[in-house]
Amino acid sequence: MKYAGIVDRLARLGGAKWDVHLRARELAAQGCDIIELTIGEPDVPTPEALTDVAVDALRRGRTGYSNGPGEDNLRAALARRYSYSMATRIGPERILCFPGTQTALFAVLMGLVETGDEVLVGDPMYATYEGVIRANGATMAPVPLSPAHGFRIRAEDIAARITPRSRAILLNTPHNPTGAILSREDLLAIGELARKHDLWIISDEVYEELVFDGETFHSPLSIPELADRTVAVSSISKSHAAPGFRSGWAVGSADFAAQLLPLSETMLFGNQPFIADMTAVAVSERSEVAAGMRSRFAARAARLNARLTAESMLDVHAPKAGMFAMVNIEKTGMNGHDYALDLLETNGVAVMPGSAFGATLDGWVRVALTVDDSRFEMACDQIVAHARQHAGEPA
């Protein structure tokens, strides 16, 4: 039997990148004590106040069909939130609702690029970006990100890779996996390129509320001269510890939302009303869990850095936001994938190979900062012991 070309384009771009994580789950199911530092799962449950809203909405019968752009109350709440944070009026006509950031990205890229187009994206990148770019035949144009520049994507590096086929720049700020944050100056320079070459700017901002103390988040959506060519996507998955509710959105110009609406309606025809009610409450108030997560993740990143710097030959890149820290493991003599498998099988700690996020991280691994402090300390013990074994030292 024949399959559509999309199947070939996406082969090995899905679950195959998570083979170490899946192996860790297998070992845990067999009774092994595995410390899982692979995925970006919040370290607290969804706030009860929010789940109560969803449950109450279910009981009130908010289970019917929605409308194409999303429930009116949610779009209004998002419009108020973005108008306040961007210091400019953003109306509900500029917003489309989706089940999560991933679906929003898929729809946005499906609507803005097509076969033969190129999308410029930093390497490393979140593991699903290549798939959402390649789904309808577009090509990913990786822009290497250097630890020497804090893994921030730079306008001059983008400029060197622009071709006549370039159609969009996909940004992720704060950045997964490295925790880098783009400054306003970074965005202005990138925006000038986008204006010069008539490129879309797609900005994944799902970690916006997990910026560590002393750092500042900026969105290209807040820059007036970029507003018509910028689409920002986000969700409540990280900020409100609600990944399983799958509630996200895209914010662009009114013309963008109108043009993309038929595509959105073809995919899902709106979001779930009872989840929309919960999300409207979530985005209308400060998250009750984000501040605690920011503090804990920053402290664990600092602890990981202190321990590995003092007790091993491994190097840690200090994140400025998010749920992860990157560890350079090149001195072990292994690549990131082999290192991650060996660490899992011999020391019971699961981390993500850097290669899952792009070619530039072959000698790195990503460590999630999302287990409780005692388990995280145990994980540090095992990472140090493993590193000493590979350095020929007694563990």
In sequence order, which ranges of the chain are alpha helices (DSSP H)?
5-9, 19-29, 48-59, 72-86, 101-112, 129-134, 155-159, 184-197, 254-267, 273-284, 290-311, 336-347, 373-390
The whole-number average pLDDT for the span 58-66 is: 95
Is residue 237 within 8 Å of 231, Cβ to Cβ? no
Examine the fold and report which residue of 253, 268, 284 is the final residue of a domain before the chain moves on.
284
Q: How far apart are CA 143 and CA 314, in angstroms?
A: 25
Q: What is the pLDDT of residue 392?
A: 58
At 378, which amino acid appears? M
Question: Are residues 195 and 71 both part of a single domain?
Answer: yes
Q: Is the pLDDT of residue 395 over 60?
A: no
End-to-end CA distance of the chain: 54
Share of the chain above pLDDT 90, in %: 90
Tell whether 183 is covered by a domain.
yes
Helix axes 254-267, 101-112, angle to 10 degrees: 110
Burial 377-392 (b: 16+ CB within 10 A, else e): ebbbbbbbbbbeebee
Work out the mean pLDDT of the chain and round it to a whole number: 95
Residues 254 and 265 in one domain: yes
Banded pLDDT at 15 (limits 50, 70, 90): low
Question: 254 to each of 90, 91, 106, 187, 233, how far by Cα in Å?
Answer: 9, 8, 19, 22, 15
On whether residue 153 sits in a domain, the answer given is: yes
Return the pLDDT at 393.
58
Burial class (CB in 10 A: 0-12, 13-18, 19+), 210: buried
Separation of alpha carbons 294 and 55, rounded Å: 28
- Inside any domain, residue 351: yes
The residue count of the chain comes to 395
User: Is 261's pLDDT higher than 80?
Assistant: yes
Convert the pLDDT of each residue in 265-303 to its tens digit.
998 887 899 999 999 999 999 899 999 999 999 999 999
Phi, psi of 326 (to 5 degrees): -95, 135
Helix (H, G, I), strand (E, B) or coil at 235: strand
Q: Are 235 and 359 part of one and the same domain? A: no
Residue 132 lies in a domain: yes
348 neighbors 388 (Cβ within 8 angstroms): no
Residue 169 lies in a domain: yes
Label residue 202 by pLDDT band (50, 70, 90). Answer: very high
For 330, the domain range is 5-45+289-390
119 and 263, same structural domain? yes
The residue type found at 56 is D
Here the CATH number for the domain that contains residue 208 is 3.40.640.10
* CATH of residue 357: 3.90.1150.10
pLDDT in tens, 88-97: 899 999 999 9
- Is there a single domain that holds both residue 280 and residue 298? no
Integer Cα distance of 137 and 72 in angstroms = 33
User: How far lies 159's CA from each of 114, 138, 143, 166, 181, in Å?
Assistant: 21, 19, 10, 10, 20
pLDDT more than 70, % of the chain: 98
Task: Dump pLDDT digits (tens) for 23-48.
Answer: 999 999 999 999 999 998 999 999 99
User: Which candidate, 226, 231, 187, 182, places its Cα nearest to that of 208?
Assistant: 182
**Residue 395, in any domain of the structure:** no
Asked if 129 and 57 sit in the same domain, the reply is yes
β-pair partners for 221: none
Both 38 and 132 in one domain: the answer is: no
35 within some domain: yes
Question: Quick check: 70 pLDDT over 80?
Answer: yes
pLDDT of residue 14: 63
Q: State the angle between helix axes of 373-390 and 290-311 in degrees (0 to 180), rounded to the nearest 10.
A: 30
Mean pLDDT of 186-211: 98
Residue 20 has pLDDT above 60, yes or no: yes
Question: What is the distance between the alpha carbons of residues 101 and 162, in angstroms, rounded to a whole number?
Answer: 26
Which residue, of 238, 263, 284, is where some domain finishes?
A: 284
pLDDT tier at 13 (50, 70, 90 boundaries)? confident
> Three-state SS across 1-29?
CCCCHHHHHCCCCCHHHHHHHHHHHHHHH
Do 80 and 39 belong to one domain?
A: no
What values do phi and psi take at 171, rounded to 5? -105, 155
Do 228 and 81 share a domain, yes or no?
Answer: yes
| 97-138 confidence digits (pLDDT tens) | 999 999 999 999 999 999 999 999 999 999 899 999 999 899
Domains of the chain: total: 2
| Final residue of a structural domain among 232, 249, 284 | 284
**Would the pLDDT of 7 be above 90?**
no
Q: CA Rg, the chain, in Å?
A: 21
* Measured distance CA(322)–CA(379) in Å, rounded: 19
